Structure 1
């Protein structure tokens, strides 16, 4: 369903009883709500959560957020970066955090637990820092607190993050290749499963310009490390030992900055959440909330 959140239209799906424990799941860069494994969100709903899924702005069925004078074409952004010119963002991750609060407002949720992965983990950090009064807890998954430049970001790396218009077959092949690089060897998906998910995402709403605006929002984000030391919410960090996109040390750093933060380093987990990981993550959420955030 479409709701108005933070002044824009956001596509939302909810699962579980309306009087269940509210839990908002936040996806990563360029991904859609359909990328959450059914086993994960339905399992959470059966465990007593009211699970909220949504498409971040600029992806899936949510509103596109272009801004006049701000590039969203991959070649134009890359050329500017290589020339040392500014690559301004149409919005920031802080705006995407406000989108989450807006979703909660529209659904009548005064407070909620939040689970964010990758870019969603960065958004979760901002929610913990700037909107703590709306959170019951924060679960930060496969994320970093450092800005793009601090992590060695450069024009060449930026070019690899940007999306381009491709046909359906090429897109599916690229998703399979990404999974090979970033997947979870201990919790594997078959090539057929990855291809089917990629086809669904392409057919539903593949939009390179929207993805690129999210990329620029990530690049524009500031260093969160100092502010995380002031977070007083129950938090946990989950990171995979096999994460080749955001190294495990980044998660450990976040866990060390947030006071009393739980830290889970998962053997055999990469930069993805697969159906086979669902039981472990559901149990982890139940245990964390029972111990720390109930």
Structure 2
């Protein structure tokens, strides 16, 4: 893995790296909860770059090598319906991080792609900074924490005790994706273990994950804003996703005028390698159509 670059982006420093040529249009990849930039597989990123894009992936705040909010009060995450939900920051703040990263890298308008929590952040980027977004792709995500809610088994896997060693991190990744991964496709256990181990070595901050989770559940329902969105939008979702169930994809697409929804039988809450050509093809076609309309 190449060494990421650290750049000041507003109130945070963000670790990022790129694939492809800076002369090509940029696709920004936003990762999900507790997931460092490594959650976007190198091969997937290179596949997009080979289609004629500069691909930018980065660590969200509170994971990896980007700024961690160690001094923030640790939120009490209460999933009880109707409970008051507060967080040190919201998904909108994380979307502003993305805009600040674009400023720092002198990138004007980009294609924004996010999975899971990253899809929620991508939606917020489109809502808060529409002038920066040529196209939006929301993958295995939702417009609201109350839509497509996880199964009891999936939320239990997500909230399982934090790993205390590299070996535990590796085992935990395999155990988690046995629950939330794709039942219709083989699990790439070697990649899961290698990514979990590298992520643990780069940065292990369970409290940061709690802060991210609090941001997800305390943030607004984006459907009212999405109904006014005039940005070409693509929604991809697995039909067997237990962590953000497929209704999250349906509701996202239903909210955005003209959005296109593609669902995949047998896909859960991960990126099965056999589906990479389909994902890359959909994202590429969507981005190229949006670029033509943008001229």
Call closer, same or farther: CA 1:97–1:163 in 2, change over 3 Å.
farther
Q: Is the contact between residue 241 and residue 268 of structure 1 (CA under 8 Å) also seen in structure 2?
A: yes
Corresponding position: 1:127 with 2:130? no
> Aligned with 1:238: secondary structure?
strand
Superposed CA deviations along residues 123-149 of structure 1, whole A, max 9, x for unmatched, are 111111111111001000111112349
Q: CA deviation at 1:153?
A: 11
Residue in 2 aligned with 1:94?
A: 92
- Where structure 1 has 5 or more consecutive residues not aligned to the other structure, the ranges are none
Structure 1 length-normalised TM: 0.89
Superposed CA deviations along residues 241-264 of structure 1, whole A, max 9, x for unmatched, are 111111111101111110000110
Distance of 1:23 and 1:94 partners within structure 2: 20
Higher alpha-carbon deviation: 166-175 or 1-10: 166-175
> Aligned with 1:31: secondary structure?
coil
Where do 1:221-260 residues align within 5 Å? 221-260=219-258
Corresponding position: 1:44 with 2:66? no
Q: CA deviation at 1:237?
A: 0.4
Distance of 1:18 and 1:169 partners within structure 2: 38
Q: CA deviation at 1:291?
A: 2.9
Distance of 1:165 and 1:270 partners within structure 2: 23
Q: CA deviation at 1:222?
A: 1.1
- Where structure 2 has 5 or more consecutive residues not aligned to the other structure, the ranges are none
> Aligned with 1:114: secondary structure?
strand
Structure 2 length-normalised TM: 0.89
Q: CA deviation at 1:170?
A: 2.2
Corresponding position: 1:71 with 2:69? no
> Aligned with 1:210: secondary structure?
helix
> Aligned with 2:135: secondary structure?
strand
Residue in 1 aligned with 2:61?
A: 57
Corresponding position: 1:24 with 2:28? yes
Distance of 1:81 and 1:263 partners within structure 2: 29
Call closer, same or farther: CA 1:204–1:87 in 2, change over 3 Å.
same
Q: Is the contact between residue 163 and residue 212 of structure 1 (CA under 8 Å) also seen in structure 2?
A: no
Instruction: Please tell me the root mean square deviation across aligned C-alpha atoms, in Å.
Output: 2.6
Residue in 2 aligned with 1:276?
A: 274
Distance of 1:211 and 1:20 partners within structure 2: 33
> Aligned with 2:263: secondary structure?
strand
> Aligned with 1:3: secondary structure?
strand
Q: Is the contact between residue 162 and residue 212 of structure 1 (CA under 8 Å) also seen in structure 2?
A: no
> Aligned with 2:88: secondary structure?
coil
In the alignment, which of 281, 284, 288 is matched to residue 286 of structure 1?
284
Call closer, same or farther: CA 1:152–1:113 in 2, change over 3 Å.
closer
Superposed CA deviations along residues 146-170 of structure 1, whole A, max 9, x for unmatched, are 234995999xx69953763522222
Corresponding position: 1:203 with 2:201? yes
Call closer, same or farther: CA 1:239–1:184 in 2, change over 3 Å.
same
Distance of 1:6 and 1:85 partners within structure 2: 32
Would you say how many aligned residue pairs link Structure 1 and Structure 2?
286
Call closer, same or farther: CA 1:41–1:71 in 2, change over 3 Å.
same
In the alignment, which of 137, 140, 143 is matched to residue 141 of structure 2?
143
Distance of 1:163 and 1:270 partners within structure 2: 22
